[in-house]
Amino acid sequence: MEQTKKPLVVIIGAGAFGTALGNALALNKDITVKLLTIENEVCESINNQRINLVYFPNAILRKQLKATMDPHVLKRAWAIVLAVPSGICLSYLEKLRRYINPKTVIINSAKGLGEGNVIISEYIETHFLNPVAALKGPSFAVELLKDMPTAFTLASHHTNLFAKAPLFIEGTQIRLDFSEDLRGVELVSIMKNMYAIIMGVIDAHYNSANVRFMVLTKVFNELYKALKLFGGQPETIFHYCGYGDFGLTSLNDLSRNRTMGLLIGKGFIKDMVSDNIVLEGKRTLNIFYKMIADEQLVKNAGAEFPILLELYKLFSKEYDQRKFVLRILNAENKLFSEKERPTSKE
């Protein structure tokens, strides 16, 4: 009797996150995991030395994890995980289109907008025939590589994937929750980067738990409103992709966007933030500011999104940080709009 082949998961991208995720999934003996890379040095070091010489030179990877530079491997994949930078994600996927079986599930793990400032999973749904999902959550690659328990939200309009997904994380330290709000899951994973910068600036000025969590509440409140404004479902904020990923990015110094805020707040980056510094939070801020400042979308942006607008001022021109911090501290914590605001009954 012929042995049934194990389902194949191909992770496109053998950078830090792709390698860490592949190594975690390699614990599952019922699937095969391969990393597809364009870096010859990375491919050879993984296959021959069980290390990723470029990204994790001191970590021994599981022997089950293999890398390849041959895109033909995509033809027999049950699922493809996109783990390349968001700014090149879609153009690279288009180059690989001819190798991808239309029945293969395409899962986006990149936390950012794609080329043309589009939501990556929505672009794939429009331009590919494949089932599409997003995988987002509080997940530093270095901790995932060390087999720390790590959680993600798997979002898709193809809800049949939710029953199959646990089979692919069997035996691993990965946990999942599920959402049909694909747009919301993508949005919150994108927008939390700009708010993480604010938390860094505030923590640079105040080494205070009181201040930190006061501002954290204000910032989370505004993120919640932005999620609803741009078409996400409110409950998405309470998934791993929402509060979990927001907290990780805002409060931990391994976060690049928070670290940028700390550097700005401590005065190491003077005047305007250099255009040579590329961060998802900065890129996202420019895009969402223009949309929120559009009076057709938000009638009183200054009152509804004061924190985001203050950050835009900080990035776009010389702006007194003391004024910035004071305005963040004094921003009203408006959980409810005027129509939703509860009133006392006399």
339 within a domain of the structure (yes/no): no
3 within a domain of the structure (yes/no): no
Look up the pTM and report it: 0.90
Query: How far apart, in Å, are the Cα atoms of 266 and each of 148, 206, 269, 281?
Result: 32, 11, 8, 18
How buried is 210 (Cβ within 10 angstroms: 0-12 exposed, 13-18 middle, 19+ buried)? exposed
Query: How far apart, in Å, are the Cα atoms of 148 and each of 21, 82, 101, 321, 325?
Result: 12, 22, 33, 37, 35
Co-location of 257 and 321 in the same domain: yes
Q: Is the pLDDT of residue 159 over 80?
A: yes
* Per-residue confidence (pLDDT) for residue 303, from 0 to 100: 78
Co-location of 320 and 276 in the same domain: yes
Higher pLDDT, 317 or 130: 130
Co-location of 66 and 19 in the same domain: yes
* Rounded CA separation 255/40 (Å): 28
* Rounded CA separation 16/10 (Å): 15
Co-location of 174 and 319 in the same domain: no
Largest CA distance in the chain: 79
Q: Is the pLDDT of residue 281 over 80?
A: no
* Per-residue confidence (pLDDT) for residue 167, from 0 to 100: 94
Co-location of 144 and 269 in the same domain: no
* Per-residue confidence (pLDDT) for residue 2, from 0 to 100: 38
346 within a domain of the structure (yes/no): no
Q: Where is the domain boundary, 154, 180, 206?
A: 180
Co-location of 86 and 68 in the same domain: yes
129 within a domain of the structure (yes/no): yes
Segment 243-264 shows an average pLDDT of: 93
Co-location of 209 and 301 in the same domain: yes
Q: Contact 9/106 with Cβ under 8 angstroms?
A: no
Co-location of 113 and 245 in the same domain: no
Q: Residue 177 is inside which H or E element, if any?
A: strand 174-179
Of 149-153, 173-177, 230-234, 269-273, the poorest mean pLDDT is in 269-273
Co-location of 197 and 157 in the same domain: no
Q: Contact 49/27 with Cβ under 8 angstroms?
A: no
Higher pLDDT, 79 or 282: 79
Q: For residue 263, what are the contacts with CB-CB under 8 A and spacing of at least 6?
A: 200, 204, 269
Q: Which domain holds residue 216?
A: 187-330
Co-location of 166 and 283 in the same domain: no
Q: For residue 99, what are the contacts with CB-CB under 8 A and spacing of at least 6?
A: 71, 72, 74, 75
Of 67-76, 250-259, 334-343, the poorest mean pLDDT is in 334-343
62 within a domain of the structure (yes/no): yes
305 within a domain of the structure (yes/no): yes
Q: Residue 174 is inside which H or E element, if any?
A: strand 174-179
Q: Residue 33 is inside which H or E element, if any?
A: strand 32-36
Q: Where is the domain boundary, 147, 180, 213?
A: 180
The closest alpha carbon to 258, from 296, 211, 203, belongs to 203
Total domain count, the chain: 2
The CATH number assigned to the domain holding 103 equals 3.40.50.720
Co-location of 133 and 207 in the same domain: no
